[in-house]
């Protein structure tokens, strides 16, 4: 691969889709100096973005939107014009899971069909959405079916590796930039796009967001075939899901033999071949990526005749983890009917308002079905949660942890927000009817909660039991 050595020149970029990936990519491409137009067919959403309002909770997103809106970044519903006026078109539309478990690529196909009518001169079309292997080839076929000459376009894969809550910094300070294409022309355009990052020049700017990369240590560029790039994305998410499921399975063993999963994870994570990240026992993974990507990757393997049962086992462990936590609540409270429970956290993880496939939402639903009343608090996800957990005599929302805990029979910690790990424990205890905390994220040490006078039940660790808990420690699972 020939690395680009010429000076940076801005590229006109069209990003199709203003969802999580598309919006983050659009503002970050503008941040590194390109001319970007972001397209969405939702007129109300586009108008809101034009007014500087962000539809998702994400650190630095509002800041960068305000910095570049009208100065290199625009929003429109007119895909054909935006595509015609751009050199590179990034497809970042949704690929939801279908009934079969496969990724639904109908949105991708619809976008490609519309792009076909706007190609006048060379265009680079880039997969940014998470898609199964050979999607690159299908995009090429669709364009050719619409009569687009193969000399007028290239298709490349450029997967994203963003974590919700840190997506902006992840984009600007990536572990790697993966580009999948066999075309030198496509590689040239993508190197020009990422030039400020791979050359390190962005990090020398006074207003650059700080992170792990710098001018002397820019992110590496990984050049592969399109098929390899598509698999890299799916395999990365699958491996992280496997790692989470593995540590939860170990946590269940730790509970059975009175060991401590926090000590075990620390000992495992110090091995440089393994590392400590994603070795946190808890309720399992959720969100919009891991569940559907694991399912889609497993299906792709099956279609190619590859027996990848390991992925199916990870999904089983993840599902069972929620069952175990629900049973912990039952063991601590005996019955749910008539009990008032304070639920801390609704988002699938901290630092986001995303409730898609959230273990927290699932647990709250089970509690309501079991006859409990729930008062929930989340720093960012309450508005979204009301759409799936409407207020009722059983379901209510609080403005703080302590309001949620007022006269509750127990507190359950469901999301790893930092503020939930720094509570005033004396104040929390004074709010509760009984000092019972059931922690699905292991945010506190057992000793700390014991010293504070709580009956504390967590994942893969001994129970801090007092007289209030009775014999629950003997039956908790």
Active site residues: 289
User: Which residues make beta-bridge pairs with 177?
Assistant: 221
With residue 363 as reference, give the H or E element that holds it: helix 359-369
Give the dihedral sign, CA 318/323/436/473: negative
Q: How far apart are CA 388 and CA 39, in angstroms?
A: 28
**Is the alpha carbon torsion for 287, 288, 292, 294 positive or negative?**
negative
User: At how many degrees (to 10) do helices 135-145 and 106-116 cross?
Assistant: 40
Identify any residues that bridge with 14 across adjacent strands, giving them in sequence order: 37, 89
- CB atoms < 10 A from the CB of 150, how many? 9
Q: What stretches of 146-217 show up as alpha helix (H) in DSSP?
A: 167-172, 184-198
Neighbours of 371 (CB within 10 A): 12
The per-residue DSSP string of 219-274 comes to PPEEEE-HHHHHHHHHHHHHHHHHHHHHHHHHHHHHHHTT--HHHHHHHHHTSTTT
Go through the chain and tell me how many residues it has.
477
User: Do 179 and 187 contact (CB within 8 A), yes or no?
Assistant: yes
Question: Checking phi first, is residue 99 left (phi over 0); if not, alpha (psi -120 to 50) or beta?
Answer: alpha
Closest CA to 88 of 123, 115, 117, 47: 123
C-alpha distances in angstroms, 324 versus 86, 136, 408?
51, 41, 22
Which residues touch 205 (CB under 8 Å, ≥6 apart)? none
Using DSSP's 3-state secondary structure scheme, residue 421 falls into: helix
Cα 390 to its chain centre, rounded Å, is: 24
Q: How far is CA 418 from CA 22, 162, 210, 334, 421, in A?
A: 27, 20, 21, 30, 5
- The kind and range of the H/E element at 65 are helix 61-68
């Amino acid at each position: 691969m020939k690395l680009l050595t010429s000076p940076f020149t801005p590229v006109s970029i069209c990003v199709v889709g203003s969802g999580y990936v598309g919006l983050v990519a659009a503002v970050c491409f503008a941040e590194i100096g390109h001319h970007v137009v972001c397209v969405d067919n939702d007129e109300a959403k586009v108008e809101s973005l034009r007014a500087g309002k962000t539809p998702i909770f994400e650190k630095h997103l509002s800041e960068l939107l305000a910095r570049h809106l009208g100065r290199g970044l625009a929003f429109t519903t007119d895909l054909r014009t935006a595509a015609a006026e751009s050199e590179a078109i990034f497809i970042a539309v949704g690929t939801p899971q279908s009934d079969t478990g496969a990724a639904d690529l109908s949105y991708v196909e619809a976008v490609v069909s519309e792009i076909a009518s706007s190609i006048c001169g060379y265009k680079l079309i880039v997969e940014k959405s998470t898609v199964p292997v050979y999607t690159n080839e299908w995009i090429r076929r669709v364009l050719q079916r619409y009569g687009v000459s193969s000399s007028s376009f290239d298709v490349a894969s450029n997967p994203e590796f963003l974590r919700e809550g840190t997506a902006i910094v992840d984009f600007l300070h990536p572990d790697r930039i993966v580009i999948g294409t066999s075309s030198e022309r496509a590689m040239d355009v993508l190197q020009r796009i990422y030039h400020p990052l791979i050359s390190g020049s962005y990090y020398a700017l006074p207003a650059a967001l700080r992170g792990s990369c710098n001018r002397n240590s820019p992110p590496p560029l990984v050049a592969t075939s399109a098929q390899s790039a598509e698999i890299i994305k799916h395999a990365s998410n699958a491996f992280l899901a496997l790692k989470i499921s593995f540590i939860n399975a170990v946590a269940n063993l730790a509970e059975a033999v009175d060991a401590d999963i926090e000590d075990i994870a620390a000992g495992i994570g110090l091995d440089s071949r393994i590392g400590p990240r994603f070795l946190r026992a808890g309720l399992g993974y959720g969100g919009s990526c891991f569940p559907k990507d694991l399912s889609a990757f497993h299906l792709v393997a099956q279609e190619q005749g590859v027996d990848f049962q390991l992925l199916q086992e990870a999904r089983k462990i993840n599902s069972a983890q929620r069952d175990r936590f629900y049973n912990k609540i039952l063991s601590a409270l005996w019955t749910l009917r008539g009990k008032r429970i304070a639920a801390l956290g609704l988002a699938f993880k901290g630092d986001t308002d995303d409730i898609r496939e959230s273990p927290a939402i699932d647990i709250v639903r089970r509690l309501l079905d079991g006859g409990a009343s729930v008062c929930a608090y989340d720093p960012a996800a309450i508005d979204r949660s009301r759409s799936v957990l409407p207020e009722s005599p059983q379901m209510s929302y609080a403005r703080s942890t302590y309001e949620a805990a007022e006269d509750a029979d127990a507190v359950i910690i469901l999301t790893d927000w930092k503020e939930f790990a720094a509570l005033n424990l004396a104040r929390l205890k004074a709010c509760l009817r009984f000092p019972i905390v059931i922690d699905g994220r292991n945010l506190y040490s057992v000793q700390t909660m014991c010293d504070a006078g709580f009956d504390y039940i967590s994942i893969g660790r001994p129970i801090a039991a007092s007289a209030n808990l009775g014999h629950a420690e003997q039956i908790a699972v």
